[in-house]
Structure 1
Amino acid sequence: MALGPLWLGLALWGALHTQAQDSTPNPIPAPPLHKVPLQPDFQNELFQGKWYILGVAGNEINEEKHSQLKMYTTTYELNEDNSYNVTFILPWNQRCDPWGTTFIPSFQPGLFTLGNIERYPGIQSYTVRVVTTDYNEVATMFFMKVYNNQEFFKITLYGRTKELSPELKENFIGFAKSLGLTDEHIVFPVPNDECIYK
């Protein structure tokens, strides 16, 4: 069953699968949230702006299936209530599809939930956690969704530029493996000029 454009955007962003039946039947269990670091003293205003997606890992990611994933961007725009309007620009079927949502602040700085979650059938909860960031160059994000009573998680390496240093790559791989993922669950999107400057 093909997914509609909004759900497709959420699926690519949150789990990188294109059909509901592609979900992993027995995914690697998501780590307890208290075991996932949270950026101390998170600064909302410094985090906003455009980020390039340099690395993606998760229990729905399959290196073979997603090895040709093209680099995409996400832009965070801070609202007065400290929520973010988040816009993804995804290269998809020879087009550049912008897709947006809202991240609502939670009880701790750097912890968010998905706004208007009722728009996404099957998603029971969606948590966004800023693991670490220096605001100017790099950030590591943790996303966890409960979809049809199954937990799926993803970590994403953001960069302010398209450059991925060997050190950043190794640190990202190490963090992914510390959460129980293996090499086959880690991909590094292919740098490209398609969509990411729009």
Structure 2
Amino acid sequence: MKAVLLTVLGALCVLTEGGEVHPQKDFDLQRFAGKWYRVGIAHNADSFKQYRDSFKINVGVLVPMETGSVSLTMWQLKSSGCHSMSFLYEKTDKPGRFKYFSTSSNALKDITIVDTNYDEYALVLKHNPRGGQGSTQVAMYGRKQKLSAELMEKFKAFSLAQGVPEDSIVIPLVTEDCPEGGI
């Protein structure tokens, strides 16, 4: 376990040089496209804690556009059924970094694909710079609903390094595919 933690901490130093989080080196949007499950979520907003027990694994499909931007559709299973949300992530001048306008928070957010191996996991940072220091959300995505303990530890360590309190790091429960039958 100690060796795993040292490996994770070493990787985090590479990801956050000089306090700035950089996108995945040589990010390849075409390889990143496809189906992803959100298997971990962390947020530094105090209001997040009240919802922590209600999170379920979401599934999304990311489709690259000719412009270099991304269309993302996310599905979430709620008590009233399966609900979808669509987002447009606009490309920036840095591959692996996007911007989108959040109607729920009425703010422009930065999205950085921090680390991915494309066929297993992706560590993603969302930052809302509005107000004071803004808010930070970290998400771990997987091509499957369950990732290894080492990858989940990497997610937790990175979240803590971004100032997310430990009690605001959530590993949602595995759920049925939504929409039914998969995507």
Q: Name 1:111's counterpart in structure 2.
A: 97
Q: Give CA deviations for 1:18-60 in whole Å, capped at 9, x if unaligned.
A: xxxxxxxxxxxxx9x9521310011010000010011001112
Distance 2:165 2:133 in 1: 20
SS in 2 for 1:153: strand
Give the match for residue 165 of structure 2.
182
Cα shift at 1:92: 2.4
What TM-score, normalized to structure 1? 0.75
CA contact (8 A) 1:88 1:100 kept: yes
- For the pair 1:51 / 2:21, whether they are aligned, the reply is no
The Cα of 1:124 is off from its aligned counterpart by 3.2
CA contact 1:141–1:157 (8 Å) conserved in 2: yes
CA change 1:50–1:122 in 2 (3 A) is closer
Q: Is the 1:50–1:75 contact (alpha carbons within 8 Å) kept by the matching residues of 2? A: yes
**Deviating runs (4+, > 2 A) in structure 1?**
60-65, 119-124, 146-150
| Corresponding position: 1:191 with 2:177 | no
Identify the residue that residue 153 of structure 1 maps to in structure 2: 136
Say what the alpha-carbon RMSD is for the aligned residues: 2.4
Name 1:35's counterpart in structure 2.
Answer: 20
Unmatched 5+ residue regions in structure 1? Answer: 1-30
Aligned length: 165
Of 57-66 and 130-139, the range deviating more from structure 2:
57-66
Equivalent residue, structure 1, for 2:146? 163
The one-character-per-residue Cα deviations of 1:90-122 (angstroms, maximum 9, x if unpaired) are 1123211111011110010001011xx3x8275
Q: Which residue of 2 aligns with 1:23?
A: none
- Structure 2 residue corresponding to 1:131, chosen from 99, 102, 114: 114
Q: CA 1:107–1:95 in structure 2 vs 1: closer, same or farther (change >3 Å)?
A: same
Q: Where do residues 55-70 of structure 1 align in structure 2 (5 Å cutoff)? A: 55-60=40-45, 62-63=48-49, 65-70=51-56
Deviation at 1:165, TM superposition (A): 1.5
Q: 1:107 to 1:153 in 2, by over 3 A?
A: same
What's the CA shift for 1:67? 2.2
In structure 2, the gaps of 5 or more residues are 1-15
